[in-house]
A and B are shown apart, each in its own frame.
Chain A
Amino acid sequence: MPSASTDVIQGTLDMLILKSAALQAMHGFGITQRIEQISAGVFRVNPGSLLLAFQRMERAGLIDSEWSITENNRRAKFYRITDKGRKQLKEHTREWERRVAAIARLLEA
Chain B
Amino acid sequence: MSVKASELPELIAAAVRKAVADKVITDETVQTLLHKPIRIGIIQAEPLVEREISRATPQPSPWKTIGYVMDGLGDLRSPEKLKATEE
Q: A and B: partners?
A: no
Residues of A within 8 A of B (CB): none
